[in-house]
């Protein structure tokens, strides 16, 4: 029987290069900061290069290593070009697919253009990045792919038709990639958060409920059984574990991070 090297593991990512998409803000930013603090040289991909570079600066001030790349994950050629640049400086050990967009509407009120946009970013974007990275990981002896999904993918949230559809696809994609690559030492899992307090939430409230932001925030928070929203650092903590060597026996799994929403709601 094998014995763990350390009982008090810090889930070290020292020397493991990670790519985090949508790493300029919200959950992606929290993951980038957490991974860098654990020793990972982080490559941040984001449409907003200025925001990504701010995260790089934050990491540098804390003694970590990071670099930023402007990248539209929906553009396969651009994704391939960006990953090829990253590969030039060495092996990529970890890919975190996080870049995504949301949408409000049911099947009747969702316009075709909005549906296409959601699927293009949330599904094709993940596919593009895995497509660009999987062969590299195989050639280098393995790696870890982590997709950020949502409880919407299994719970089918009201008035979130396109978003729920896209996140259901992400969960299925995770299982397929895990199964196809288990013999290549590539692990693939996903995290399904419930509502997390990110700049997206604040901007949504500011746009739709001007002057009532605090009231509506409280209402949204109370839809969670725990009575609060999740925080980006909590998603980052689970991501950190799943991408570390302490999770080497975990693949093909979806982890709800939902304050009890799926099991205890209602």
pLDDT of residue 251: 98
**Statement to judge: residues 169 and 216 lie in one domain:** no
**Statement to judge: residues 131 and 214 lie in one domain:** no
Whose tokens are 């570079």? That residue is: 53
**Structural domain includes residue 8:** no
Tell me the per-residue pLDDT of 178-205, one tens digit each, with 9 for 90 and over: 999 999 999 999 999 999 998 888 888 8
**Statement to judge: residues 22 and 47 lie in one domain:** yes
pLDDT higher than 80, residue 265: no
pLDDT of residue 141: 98
**Statement to judge: residues 223 and 125 lie in one domain:** no
C-alpha atoms less than 13 angstroms from C-alpha of 37 in its C-beta half-sphere: 14
pLDDT higher than 90, residue 4: no
**Structural domain includes residue 84:** yes
Give dist(CA 28, CA 22) in Å, integer: 5
pLDDT higher than 70, residue 2: no
Instruction: Provide the pLDDT confidence category of residue 224 given band limits of 50, 70 and 90.
Output: confident
Domain count, the chain: 2
**Statement to judge: residues 191 and 204 lie in one domain:** no
**Statement to judge: residues 186 and 249 lie in one domain:** yes
With b meaning 16 or more CB within 10 Å and e meaning fewer, what string describes 27-62? bbbbbbbbbbbbebbbbbbbbeeebbbbbbeebeee
Give dist(CA 159, CA 51) in Å, integer: 30
**Statement to judge: residues 206 and 145 lie in one domain:** no
**Structural domain includes residue 2:** no
**Structural domain includes residue 178:** yes
pLDDT higher than 60, residue 138: yes
**Statement to judge: residues 28 and 106 lie in one domain:** yes
Whole-prediction pTM: 0.94
Q: Report which of 108, 189, 147 is spatially closest to residue 22, judged by C-alpha positions.
A: 147
> Is 74 within 8 Å of 128 (Cβ atoms)?
yes
pLDDT higher than 60, residue 58: yes
Residue 32 tokens, joined: 């980038």
pLDDT higher than 70, residue 116: yes
Q: Report which of 79, 52, 36 is spatially closest to residue 240, judged by C-alpha positions.
A: 36
Give dist(CA 56, CA 264) in Å, integer: 39
**Statement to judge: residues 52 and 113 lie in one domain:** yes
**Statement to judge: residues 130 and 213 lie in one domain:** no
Tell me the per-residue pLDDT of 72-88, one tens digit each, with 9 for 90 and over: 999 999 999 999 999 99
**Structural domain includes residue 1:** no
pLDDT of residue 9: 61
Structural element, H or E, at residue 218: helix 213-221
Segment among 87-101, 131-145, 203-217, 226-240 with least mean pLDDT: 203-217
Percent of the chain past pLDDT 90, that is, above it, reads 85
Beta bridge partners of residue 144, listed in sequence order: 94, 187
Helices (H), 5-121: 26-37, 49-61, 76-87, 112-119
- Helix/strand/coil for 256: strand
**Statement to judge: residues 120 and 71 lie in one domain:** yes
66: containing domain: 18-196+236-258
CATH number at residue 69: 3.40.50.720
For residue 126, indicate whether it is catalytic.
no
Question: What count of residues does the chain have?
Answer: 266
Q: Report which of 90, 87, 85, 91 is spatially closest to residue 70, judged by C-alpha positions.
A: 85
> Is 122 within 8 Å of 230 (Cβ atoms)?
no
Average pLDDT, the chain: 94
Radius of gyration of the chain (CA): 18
**Structural domain includes residue 135:** yes
pLDDT of residue 238: 98
**Statement to judge: residues 130 and 217 lie in one domain:** no
**Structural domain includes residue 217:** yes
pLDDT of residue 194: 94
- Among the options 126, 127, 163, 255, which is catalytic? 163
């Amino acid at each position: 029987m094998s014995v763990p090297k350390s009982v008090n593991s810090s889930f070290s990512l020292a020397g493991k290069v990670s790519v985090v998409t949508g790493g300029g803000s919200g959950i992606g930013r929290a993951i980038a900061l957490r991974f860098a603090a654990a020793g990972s040289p982080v490559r941040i991909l984001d449409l907003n290069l200025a925001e990504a570079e701010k995260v790089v600066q934050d990491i540098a001030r804390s003694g970590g290593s990071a670099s930023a790349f402007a990248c539209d994950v929906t553009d396969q050629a651009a994704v391939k070009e960006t990953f090829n640049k990253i590969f030039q400086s060495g092996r990529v050990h970890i890919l975190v697919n996080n870049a995504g967009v949301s949408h409000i509407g049911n099947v009747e009120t969702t316009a075709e253009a909005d549906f296409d946009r959601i699927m293009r970013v949330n599904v094709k974007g993940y596919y593009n990045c895995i497509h660009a990275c999987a062969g590299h990981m195989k050639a280098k002896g393995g790696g870890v792919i982590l997709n950020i999904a949502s409880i919407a993918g299994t719970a089918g949230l009201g008035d979130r038709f396109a978003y729920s559809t896209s996140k259901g696809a992400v969960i299925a994609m995770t299982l397929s990639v895990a199964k196809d690559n288990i013999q290549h030492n590539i692990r693939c899992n996903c995290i399904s958060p419930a509502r997390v307090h990110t700049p997206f939430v604040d901007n949504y409230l500011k746009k739709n409920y001007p002057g009532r932001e605090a009231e509506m925030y409280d209402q949204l928070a109370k839809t969670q059984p725990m009575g609060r929203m999740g925080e980006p650092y909590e998603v980052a903590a689970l991501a950190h574990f799943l991408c570390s060597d302490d999770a080497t026996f975990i693949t093909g799994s979806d982890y709800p991070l939902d304050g009890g929403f799926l099991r205890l709601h209602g």
